[in-house]
Structure 1
Amino acid sequence: MQTIQDGYRSFSLLVSINWDRLIYVFAIGASLFLGAYLGTLMIDAMTHPVGY
């Protein structure tokens, strides 16, 4: 039980020190996903124009 508590304490210390890096990774992943989604919409709009 002591080992689990020590492991949890060290893990929470690492997270509290490096939480900003986790946010950066999430922001980069979200921006890549959003860019791919918008690119797909643009390609679809260029290949299938509406009203012609």
Structure 2
Amino acid sequence: MTMQAVMKSYKGLSLLVWLNWDRLFTVGTVIVGLLAGAFLGTALTQP
């Protein structure tokens, strides 16, 4: 792979991340919320 190909693929990947940032943030927030709920649920039900 040449350096130009690496730079083109990096620019394309950064563009995709920039375009879908809100979706990635939403999915991450949902996952963190589910994990926090599971942690609290198990912590509160333990004697």
- Two-structure CA RMSD over aligned residues (Å): 0.8
Partner of 1:8: 10
For 1:1-52, what aligned pairs fall within 5 Å after superposition? 1-44=3-46, 48=47
Aligned residue identity for 1:42: L
Unaligned runs of 5+ in 2: none
Percent of pairs with identical residues: 42
Question: TM-score scaled by structure 2?
Answer: 0.86
Counterparts of 1:17 and 1:9 in 2: how far apart (Å)?
12
Structure 1: state its 5+ residue gaps. none
**Which TM-score applies when normalising by structure 1?**
0.79
Counterpart secondary structure, 2:20: helix
Structure 1 moving runs of 4+ over 2 Å: none
> Over alpha carbons, which structure has the higher Rg?
1
